[in-house]
């Protein structure tokens, strides 16, 4: 018998295995029927046919390969499909991370119920954290149709793979991957070897089928997915579930081989589960009666294909120690320090002796450079105690030289701001309904023209 990992030759007519190539098969007498295989007990393709032989991989010219557009499953949850890039791609593995209680299981049982109503195939929900009665109770409470959903409450990998082979589902949920273990990787779930081995086996299975695999994952106290970073490299899509308060949830793609990572799905948790917020353009701004307080500026930002109006809040107070600090969670602290340094150098405001606090209303995290102008206006307003006039919005990137630089799709940002009632829109491009500025001094003159002369002790000595 051939050794494990040895190269053997198998007859395509009778299935006989021989240790070396022969022109004619001795068993059936056919010519040129022996094909090269490798005896690999871990090969997924070998397990699928019930044997121990996997065909040896050979390189092929890239020019001869035909590109095919992968099909997608529509989960019926528009914001979920948006974050996935237009739906869940078949033969793909998705990793969904989020803090405990944020709604990962709720989102996936809702998606599974929608797919069970629209797809012909079966749905498998493998849970290692909840019992079948708990999952059924959640589905009934949410009023979901669970007719085609198969529940498997198991943590052993071999049990899950056996169920997959029998059911051949079109949508698979593993909740969570940290609870799955195999005797091949040890007896303790959640170890590095277990995560790598179990994930590799499940991903290998789904790559051979027109199916979608979604695995939930635990996160650390910093919000990062727990376990080896290799787990994120192995899957096709990594989604992060975040929250800003008790109701609003943000679904963001950190990695996506089949779509953009710029799209943002927004949900609201209610009595009937997660509800999509389909038009969130104005949900991150605060409507006030009367004048706007100092330290607040509004920006038009792009998240994927949509424009949001967000409110940036800034506060400056004298530093309590010899070293000033920046406190900012939703905007990178290094960006805040850089904008403050540009204001100190180019606009004459002193921030070096101030502690700076920055927040974003609604809790959304901002990363694009188009918020620089609004951040600068909020810091200038906080330091000088001069509020921006009501109905003012800003768009633009701030350079170290103090220039307000153009950003992508300015006209769409201006149009959205105008439709939401903003009368004065500061932009670095000449377009209708916007005030054109080129540098930080021009922005200050355009935004604070009426109150610049009354600023309070913010100027450098």
Q: Which of 265-274, 319-328, 395-404 has the highest mean pLDDT?
A: 395-404
Quick: pLDDT tens for 325-336.
999 989 999 999
395/37: higher pLDDT:
395
Band the pLDDT of 246: cuts 50, 70, 90.
low
Residue 356 CA to residue 79 CA, distance in Å, equals 35
Mean pLDDT of 332-350: 94
Please name which of 171, 162, 78 lies closest in space to residue 119, comparing C-alpha atoms: 171
State mean pLDDT over 119-148: 90
Confidence of residue 118 (pLDDT cuts 50, 70, 90): confident
Is the pLDDT confidence value at 458 over 80? no
Residues 6+ apart with CB under 8 A from 400: 338, 342
For position 48, what pLDDT does the model report?
39
What is the DSSP secondary structure assignment for residue 450, as one 8-state letter? Answer: T
Q: Which two tokens stand for residue 368?
A: 């694009």
The pTM of this model reads 0.74
Q: Is residue 207 helix, strand or coil?
A: helix
262 or 265: which leads in pLDDT? 265
Report how far residue 253's alpha carbon sits from residue 89's, in angstroms, rounded to the nearest whole number.
Answer: 14
Q: Over 50: is that where the pLDDT of 272 sits?
A: yes
The reported pLDDT for the residue numbered 381 is 96
Average pLDDT of the chain to the nearest whole number: 86
Give the pLDDT band (50/70/90) at residue 5: low
Helix, strand or coil, per DSSP, at residue 365? coil
Question: Tokens standing for 317?
Answer: 């107070």
Q: With cut-offs at 50, 70 and 90, classify the pLDDT of residue 450.
A: low
DSSP 420: T
- In the predicted model, what is the mean pLDDT of residues 448-453? 59
Confidence at residue 124, expressed as pLDDT on a 0 to 100 scale: 95
Please check the confidence at residue 226 and state whether its pLDDT lies above 70.
yes
Residue 68: pLDDT band with limits 50, 70, 90? confident
* Cα distance between residue 372 and residue 392, in whole Å: 15
- Residue-wise pLDDT for 170-202, tens only, equals 999 999 899 999 988 877 888 888 999 999 999
Position 362 pLDDT exceeds 70: yes
| Whether residue 455 has pLDDT greater than 70 | no
Give residue 456's pLDDT. 44
> C-alpha angle with apex 203: 167 to 253, nearest 5 degrees?
115
Instruction: Tell me the mean pLDDT in the region 413-429.
Output: 90
Mean pLDDT of 152-176: 94
Q: Tell me which DSSP letter residue 428 carries.
A: S
The side-by-side arrangement of strands in the sheet containing 273-276 is 149-153, 123-127, 171-175, 212-217, 92-98, 237-243, 248-256, 264-270, 273-276
For residues 135 and 109, the answer to whether their CB atoms sit within 8 Å is yes
- The answer to whether residue 454 scores a pLDDT higher than 50 is no
């Amino acid at each position: 018998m051939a050794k494990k990992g040895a190269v053997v030759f198998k007859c395509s007519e009778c299935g006989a295995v021989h240790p070396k190539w022969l022109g004619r098969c001795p068993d059936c007498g056919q010519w040129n029927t022996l094909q090269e295989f490798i005896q690999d007990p871990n090969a997924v393709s070998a397990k699928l046919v019930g044997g121990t032989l996997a065909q040896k991989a050979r390189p092929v010219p890239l020019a001869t390969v035909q590109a095919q557009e992968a099909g997608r499953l529509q989960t019926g949850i528009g914001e979920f499909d948006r974050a996935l890039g237009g739906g869940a791609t078949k033969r793909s593995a998705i990793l969904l991370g989020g803090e405990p209680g944020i709604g990962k299981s709720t989102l996936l049982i809702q998606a599974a119920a929608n797919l069970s109503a629209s797809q012909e195939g079966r749905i498998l929900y493998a849970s290692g954290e909840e019992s079948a009665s708990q999952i059924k109770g959640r589905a009934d409470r949410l009023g979901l149709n669970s007719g085609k959903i198969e529940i498997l409450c198991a943590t052993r990998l071999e049990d899950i793979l056996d169920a997959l082979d029998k059911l051949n589902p079109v949508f698979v949920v593993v909740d969570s991957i940290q609870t799955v273990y195999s005797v091949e990787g040890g007896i303790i779930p959640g170890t590095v070897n277990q995560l790598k081995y179990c994930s590799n086996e499940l991903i290998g299975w789904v790559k051979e089928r027109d199916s979608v695999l979604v695995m939930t994952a635990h996160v650390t106290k910093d919000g990062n997915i727990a376990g080896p970073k290799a787990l994120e490299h192995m899957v096709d899509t990594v989604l992060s579930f975040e929250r800003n308060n008790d109701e609003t949830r943000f679904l963001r793609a950190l990695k996506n081989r089949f779509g953009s990572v710029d799209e943002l799905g927004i949900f609201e948790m209610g009595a009937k589960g997660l509800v999509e917020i389909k038009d969130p353009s104005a949900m991150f701004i605060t409507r006030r009666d009367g004048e706007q307080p100092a330290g607040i500026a509004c920006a038009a930002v792009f998240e994927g294909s949509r424009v949001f109006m967000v409110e940036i809040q800034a506060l400056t107070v004298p530093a309590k120690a010899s070293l000033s600090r920046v406190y900012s969670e939703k905007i990178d602290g290094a960006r805040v320090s850089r904008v403050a340094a540009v204001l100190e150098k180019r606009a004459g405001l002193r921030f070096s002796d101030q502690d700076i606090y920055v927040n974003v209303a609604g809790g959304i995290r901002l990363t694009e450079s188009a918020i620089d102008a609004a951040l600068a206006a909020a810091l200038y307003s906080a330091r000088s105690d001069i509020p921006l006039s009501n109905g003012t919005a800003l768009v633009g990137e701030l350079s170290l030289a103090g220039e307000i630089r153009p950003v992508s799709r300015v006209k769409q940002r201006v149009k959205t701001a105008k439709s939401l009632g903003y009368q004065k829109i500061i932009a670095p491009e000449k377009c209708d309904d916007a005030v054109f500025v080129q540098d930080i001094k021009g922005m200050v003159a355009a935004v604070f023209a009426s109150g610049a002369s009354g600023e309070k002790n913010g100027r450098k000595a």
